[in-house]
Amino acid sequence: MDFMAVNFDGTAGGQLCIWDPNFFQLVDCYNSRRFILPSETLLNSFDYTILNVCAPNEVSSRCKFWESLLKLKSEFPKPWCLEGDLNEIRNISERVGCSRRDKGMLDLNSFIESCELNDLPLLGRKFTWCNTQDGEKWSRIDRIMLNPEWMLKFNFKLWGLPRLFSDHCPILLMDDETDWEPKPFRFINAWTLHPSFPSFVDNVWHESRIIRRAGYVLFQKLKILKLKLKKWNSEVFGNLSRKLKKAEEELVELDILAEGRPLEEAERFRRREVRGEV
């Protein structure tokens, strides 16, 4: 994996872009304290620019920030994918319990129009930020926007994911026609807290007797251990992954009810998870 990073400033900011060089080939890059801009090629067939941003909190500073990005558009003319925390809404319905700032909305909408960006509708959620203290303030300030070239080549959907560790909920851009193949095996850290875990792993490892070259032996032993761990997890914890998923689903439902969003959209996203599409 390759990456680019911008360090945080105090308790705010900080950005990280990670990509797989087998699929994305970096051509050029540019970054500042507020954004990371890699210009890349996808699968040797689609040239594009990604702009990962964290906009300022102040309206006047954001206005200057949009102006600086507009200048970048002429220097990086390939189709843009702009994503991140814009710290501003596009219309008043995207905010509840927060102060109204018409100028900020006008500035953002003018910037989006000048860049010819398509603002993707958010599925599964209505808002992307909530003040965690009292849960009375909600905003949709995180977005992913695309130039028309992206829309012609891909069939994208934008989903709001569960808000578990932050006052922002993650957002996920998915191509509906992409086959993501089976979901990978996930190790659960809680397993290591069980007193029988070390001896169980040791026994499985030494009982697996395979005589071949070292790399093949390691691969086969890990494959056997994976299957044994899944069975052990079900017997000891009663399928801990399922319990964790159920707890997350209940938390998401409460979050969506609090923001006044119909639960049907959360159910649509959950069904996609079950099918392995997310």
142 vs 28: which has the higher pLDDT? 142
**In the Cβ-directed half-sphere of 68, how many Cα atoms lie within 13 Å?**
17
Cα separation, 54 vs 12, in Å, equals 9
Question: Is 60 exceeded by the pLDDT of residue 181?
Answer: no
Average pLDDT on 71-88 reads 93
In the chain, CATH 3.60.10.10 sits at 2-175
Classify 228 as helix, strand or coil: helix
* Fold of the domain built from segment(s) 2-175: Deoxyribonuclease I; Chain A (3.60.10)
| Residue 189, CB-side half-sphere exposure with 13 Å CA sphere | 0
Is residue 67 scored above 90 in pLDDT?
yes
Please name the helix (run of DSSP H) or strand (run of DSSP E) that holds residue 96, with its range, or none: strand 95-96
Q: Cα(87)–Cα(54) distance, rounded to whole angstroms?
A: 8
Q: Give SS3 for 164.
A: coil
Please give the Cα distance from 221 to 205 (Å, whole number).
7
How far is the CA of 270 from the CAs of 103, 127, 130, 170, 209, in angstroms? Answer: 38, 18, 22, 15, 41
Confidence grade of residue 52 (pLDDT, cut at 50, 70, 90): very high
Res. 115: pLDDT tops 60: yes
Residue with the bigger pLDDT between 175 and 200: it is 200
Q: How confident is the model at residue 277 (pLDDT cuts 50, 70, 90)?
A: low
- 131-180 pLDDT, tens per residue? 866 667 889 999 999 999 998 888 899 999 888 778 899 999 988 655 55
**pLDDT exceeds cutoff 90 at 84:** yes
Per the prediction, the chain carries an average pLDDT of 84
Flag whether the pTM goes above 0.75. no
Long-range contacts of 152-155 (CB under 8 A, 24+ apart): 153/46
**What's the CA gap between 138 and 144, in Å, rounded?**
18
Higher model confidence: residue 180 or residue 253?
A: 253
